[in-house]
């Protein structure tokens, strides 16, 4: 296979804030794998929190080039296993390669991935639209600018309940809240009781990802379901999540790609956990990959490309939270800016 990569800067429509950071630009690395005249694309975004440097990843790709160029892709999962010997602790980069390999495989077989996996396009959840932390006035303006049936509201401030109360006055839509690990156990229990009365569906990652014992206690007293995000990185976290949360939010970059993400979702179901896949602020390359997993999911957060001024790709069509069935082979993404 031929391998190429390029770093892009994705401009956001609005400053995007969560409890630990804000940004106006998201840097992302697009990987292209080519075989038999077909090209597959994968994506990985830069993340200080997860120590993911794009320049370091490009250097690593150069080191991996001899392993990739002579490889004949016949099964993406076997390819994931082949590279995992080298990339066991480099999940963000492994994700981009794995998604590109799956996209290429689908194009070589002229089918969308979900069909190759034997899945049917039914009972597909709506995607939420995310409102990042800002002043309450600006959060209200963002919500009104993008009417949507389902919102994720980022929290982790000194006035979280006031934010939800104010936004509730603007819409009857369902809310989900994500504290990005900013709350204590006491805050989680207290906030949940009030948020339940304000039309909130669940709380995502309220506390520190290593606070397992406290989360087990909180789960028994919490008025709302709890979804693991930062606490659910890889397959190794699932058993702990089953005792501390009601569901998991799998992110492809944290997991290491579509290959381990599918395994995580199937195991989560066996453990009685609700299943969700979330996104980073990424282009339609990454979002299209998430779409292939939708038949496995109870919930999904795949609005990343909707937050951008300059999407560098085409992919999934989303209207008012409804995700249209992918028709193109592979992940369905098409890069519209040159590598």
> How many whole angstroms separate alpha carbon 12 and alpha carbon 69?
35
Asked if the model's pLDDT at residue 285 lies above 90, the reply is yes
| Inter-residue contact 314 to 336 (CB < 8 Å) | yes
pLDDT value for 40: 98
pLDDT > 90? residue 88? no
E strand or H helix at 274, and its extent? strand 274-278
| Tokens standing for residue 307 | 């937050």
pTM (2 decimals)?
0.97
DSSP string, 276-310: EEE--S--HHHHHHHHTTGGG-SEE---GGGGBSS
Q: Are strands 226-228 and 247-251 parallel, antiparallel or unpaired?
A: parallel
Alpha helices in the chain (DSSP H): 54-69, 76-87, 91-109, 113-116, 136-145, 160-168, 185-196, 212-221, 238-244, 252-255, 258-270, 284-291
Confirm if 214 and 185 have CB atoms less than 8 A apart: yes
- Going along the chain from its start, the domains and CATH numbers come out as 2-111 (3.30.390.10), 116-335 (3.20.20.120)
pLDDT mean over 182-206 = 98
Structure tokens at 133: 């932390």
At 78 the pLDDT is: 98
pLDDT band at 332 (very low <50, low <70, confident <90, very high): very high
Q: How many CB atoms lie within 10 A of CB 38?
A: 18
pLDDT in tens, 104-162: 999 999 999 999 999 999 999 999 999 999 999 999 999 999 999 999 999 999 999 99
Taking only the tens place, the pLDDT of each residue in 13-53 is 999 999 999 999 999 999 999 999 999 999 999 999 999 99
pLDDT tens track for 239-282: 999 999 999 999 999 999 999 999 999 999 999 999 999 999 99
């Amino acid at each position: 296979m031929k391998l190429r990569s390029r770093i892009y800067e994705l401009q956001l429509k609005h400053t995007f804030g969560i409890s630990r950071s804000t940004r106006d630009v998201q840097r992302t690395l697009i990987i292209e794998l080519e075989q038999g005249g077909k090209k597959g694309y994968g994506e990985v975004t830069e993340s200080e929190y997860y120590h993911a440097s794009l320049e370091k990843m490009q250097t690593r790709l150069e080191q991996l080039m001899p392993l990739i160029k002579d490889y004949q892709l016949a099964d993406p999962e076997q390819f994931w296993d082949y590279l995992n010997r080298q990339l066991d602790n480099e999940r963000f980069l492994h994700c981009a390669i794995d998604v590109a390999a799956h996209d290429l495989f689908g194009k070589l077989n002229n089918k969308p991935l979900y069909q190759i996996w034997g899945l049917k396009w039914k009972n597909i959840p709506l995607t939420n639209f995310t409102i990042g932390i800002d002043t309450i006035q600006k959060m209200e303006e963002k919500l009104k600018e993008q009417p949507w049936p389902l919102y994720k509201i980022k929290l982790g401030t000194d006035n979280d309940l006031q934010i939800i109360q104010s936004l509730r006055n603007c819409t009857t839509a369902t809310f989900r809240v994500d504290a990005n690990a900013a709350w204590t156990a006491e805050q989680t229990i207290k906030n949940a009781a009030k948020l339940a009365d304000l039309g909130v569906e669940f709380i995502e990652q309220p506390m520190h990802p290593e606070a397992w014992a406290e989360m087990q206690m909180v789960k028994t007293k919490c008025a709302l379901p709890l979804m693991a995000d930062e606490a659910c990185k890889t397959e190794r976290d699932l058993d702990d999540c089953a005792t501390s949360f009601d569901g998991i939010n799998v992110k492809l970059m944290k997991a290491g790609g579509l290959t381990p993400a599918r395994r995580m979702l199937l195991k989560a179901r066996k453990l009685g956990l609700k299943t969700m896949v979330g996104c980073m602020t990424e282009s339609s390359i990454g979002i299209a990959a998430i779409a292939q997993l939708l038949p496995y999911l109870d919930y999904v957060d795949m609005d990343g490309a909707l937050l951008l001024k300059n999407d560098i790709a085409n992919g999934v069509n989303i209207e008012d939270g409804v995700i249209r069935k992918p028709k193109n082979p592979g992940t369905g993404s098409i890069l519209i800016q040159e590598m």
